Chains A and B, each alone.
Chain A
Amino acid sequence: MSENVRELSFSGAVQEALAVAMENDPRVFLMGEDIGVYGGAFQVTGDLVHRFGEDRVMDTPISELGGAGVAVGAAVAGARPVYEFQFSDFASLAMEQIVNQAAKMRFMLGGKVSVPVVFRMPCGSGTGAAAQHSQSLEAWFGHVPGLKVVEAATPEDAKGLLLAAIEDPDPVLVFEHKLLYKIKGHVPEGHYTTPIGKALVRRQGKDATVVAAAIMVHKALEAAEVLAGEGIDIEVIDLRTIRPIDTATIIESVKKTTRLACVYEGVKTLGIGAEISALIAESEAFDYLDAPIMRLGGAESPIPYSPILEKAAVPQTDDIVAGLRNLVKGRI
């Protein structure tokens, strides 16, 4: 019983995944800025340097292109590096190595190498860190064949997806929404993986499907609770993997509920919601739709500093409630 309710924070779950991976596989090591004695900008690596030593928890210079690229090179040469970007925004400094090298190397070389590198990507707004430290860039990387992109909503999946990413033979970007680091939840002990490429229905419902990831899953679940009081029954899908996307689960759900809302923090235009909308429009689920597809995404602006504006820049629970109410009752 007590084992079943063991709770960890999201960041604690990530740290536990890193520890389990390093215990199980001597090839696994961590690289990043201030991940050693400092413990990481968000205290995710914490005291791992004391448990595993500086050779496996390596502080890098402030040098994202070099650090990320060294991780890619080490992966090709047989190591299992996990590179932490202090903020996922800084991956823009390392795009060359992620997009041109890591993503394409196996393909360009005729399938003769694998690039088992993991990039940890703390992302998202809500911390008052303004425009260069708050972005949600999952869709950028999801656009690149050769990369895999995952994003957990719960501590349990944070651990399971990260372990799956580290054991995966291909490059995986693991997005971690910063506002989730402190949430707590059940986390199984020891080793387990959450499969990459599988979404999860977090809440069953019959009136509309919400597809969301990371923090938006929580907001969607809150919205669903509010709407349940009004007799509206919402199904919430936790995407968990952005690439490769689990089309089957989404199509199945939309056929049942006949309505679709895509809720995501990244900028609305050309974002994750565009892809999900399109895949439904192209699928047999299209004929089941009783309302136009709805997208609730980030504003067409950089993330502002002012807390009032910052909230206005990404979908909040109230926005989701209003949107879904309209989706279910407003039309048809």
Chain B
Amino acid sequence: MAAKSATKSVEQGRNLRPFYANHTPEQLKEALRRMWLVRRFEEMAEESYIRGLTHGTMHLSIGQEASAVGICLELTDKDYITSTHRGHGHCIGKGAEVKYMFAEFFGKEEGYCRGRGGSMHIADPATGNLGANGIVGGGLPLATGAALAIKKRGSKDVAVCFFGDGANNEGAFHESLNIAAVWKLPVIYVCENNQYGMSVSTERSTAVKDVATRAAAYNMPGVIVDGNSIADVNEAMTAAMERARNGEGPTLIECKTYRTRGHSRSDRNRYRSKEEIESWKGKDPIPAFEDELMALGILTQADVEGVRAGVEKDIQDGFDFATKGTNPEPSSLLRGVYTTGDAA
């Protein structure tokens, strides 16, 4: 997606904030499209679950689309991401196609992981997406290691580690951020603070008010942004990218956000109030972005409707593709356990 070109960006000289000034209308429209894709993918996934078309569980990021897309907007296929159990947004932000995601959901061979991973492990290594992770904090050392590999080959790519507020209390957080800072690795830690680790609020779980303040312990910048504003997220990301590429090391970005759905399918929302959830629904990042794009004259109402219609078609096509997918053969169970002896 990345590769912003200043030449065709939204007209200069209007005192636009950098996010709007430095991206072309096409790029901004694509960002909006991906936010809608995340939203609609998850709504369709939820519906599929309710209709009994999928099993297992899923973790929805509805309400958090701005951070996933705002971060990934700057990345190319050579940049890496690691994601979380709540990772559909990161996946689509990084450029995944929803038809292969649906296929993974339905446990089909056509899925990104040939049906072996499911919702919690969707990945697309070919585009630098090293995968969602079922272990809270599991991606922190992995992204740090990917950044070490980047540094060793001397390229200007970066690794992005998405994680939640829950992971910031895991030991992996401390160890990874310390190593990245000591070795000045090109990694950007993106904490999506949706305020609850399953049912326990950050207030009850975390000794500091803001996760970003912990960056001081690792001698790296800690930036707090409105995670529901794609512009805020993206501008922090741009600065972190520049720092990483200049060899100055990692940055911790904390996106303050909220998941309007429960933790997973088993959640009965007993730990928070309806009023709280409703108040956050009023801060939905997608309509906010649409309004801003239209207010700035970057997109028209017709453009926006066109984006939504295109997304609906992609979702329906992807869903249809997946339902017609191939079930894995039981005899193929051991494929992928090892590389050696694997029948590709």
Chain A positions within 8 Å of B, measured between CB atoms, are 27, 29, 55, 60-61, 63, 65-79, 81, 96-97, 100-101, 105-114, 145-146, 148, 168-170
Contact B336 A169 (CB under 8 A): no
Give bound CA distance, A5 to B146, whole Å: 43
A56, chain B: closest CB distance, angstroms: 9
Residues in B neighbouring A114, C-beta threshold 8 A: 339
Chosen A-B contacts, 12 in total, with CB atoms closer than 8 Å, are A66-B141, A66-B144, A66-B179, A69-B144, A73-B130, A77-B80, A97-B138, A108-B113, A110-B114, A110-B116, A110-B117, A112-B113
Bound-state Cα–Cα, A35 to B195, Å: 41
Partner of A79, one of B152, B335, B336: B152
Q: Is B227 an interface residue (CB 8 A)?
A: no
User: Which one, A70, A107, A168, contacts B116 given CB within 8 A?
Assistant: A107
Complex Cα–Cα for A109 and B123 (A): 6
Are B176 and A69 within 8 A (Cβ)? Answer: yes
Q: Is the CB of A76 within 8 A of B142?
A: yes
| B146 to chain A: closest residue by CB | A77
List which B21-44 residues lie within 8 A (CB) of chain A: none
Binary per-residue interface labels of chain B (166-208) against chain A in the complex, 1 for a CB within 8 Å, 0 otherwise: 0000011011101100100000000000000000000000000
Instruction: Determine whether B270 belongs to the interface, using a CB cutoff of 8 Å to chain A.
Output: no
Interface flag for B249 (CB, 8 Å)? no
A146 nearest CB neighbor, chain B only: B337
Q: Are A68 and B117 interface neighbours, CB within 8 A?
A: no
- B276-293 at interface with A (beta carbon < 8 Å): none
Q: Could you say which residues of chain A place their CB within 8 Å of the CB of B138?
A: 96-97, 100-101
Q: How distant is the Cα of A305 from the Cα of B121 in the complex, in angstroms? A: 44
State A23–B330 Cα separation when bound (angstroms): 43
Q: Which residue of B lies closest to A59 (CB)?
A: B182
Chain A, Cβ-Cβ closest to B117: A108
Asked if B10 is at the interface (CB within 8 A of a chain A CB), the reply is no
Q: Once the chains bind, are B131 and A105 in contact (CB under 8 Å)?
A: yes
Closest to B132 in A: A108
Question: Chain A residues with Cβ under 8 A from B339's Cβ?
Answer: 106, 114, 169-170
Interface pair A65/B146, CB less than 8 Å apart: no
Nearest-Cβ distance from residue B305 to partner chain A, whole angstroms: 36
Chain A hits for B131, CB < 8 A: 105, 108-109
Taking CB atoms, residues of chain A closer than 8 Å to B152 are 27, 29, 55, 74, 79
Q: State in angstroms the CA–CA spacing of A163 and B135 once bound together.
A: 32
5 nearest CB pairs, A to B: A73-B145, A69-B141, A66-B175, A110-B114, A77-B149
B179 A110 Cβ-Cβ under 8 A: no
Extra pairs beyond A29-B152, A106-B336, A107-B116 (7, CB < 8 Å): A63-B179, A72-B145, A76-B130, A77-B150, A78-B153, A112-B112, A112-B113
Given the complex of chains A and B, what is the CA–CA distance between A61 and B183 in angstroms?
10
Nearest to A99 among chain B residues (CB) is: B135
Q: Min CB distance, A74 to chain B, in Å?
A: 4
Measured in the bound complex, the distance between the Cα atoms of B117 and A24 in whole Å is: 35
Q: Which residues of A contact B143 (CB under 8 A)?
A: 73
In the complex, residue of chain B having the shortest beta-carbon distance to the beta carbon of A60: B179
Assembled-state Cα–Cα distance A111/B276 (Å): 42
Residue B344 interfacial (CB < 8 Å) = yes
Q: Tell me whether A111 and B342 are in contact in the complex, defined as CB-CB below 8 angstroms, given that A63-B178, A106-B336 are known contacts.
A: yes
Check B164 for interface membership: any CB of A closer than 8 A. Answer: no
Task: Pick from A70, A100, A108, A114 the residue with the most CB of B within 10 Å.
Answer: A70
**B126→A112 contact, CB < 8 A:** yes
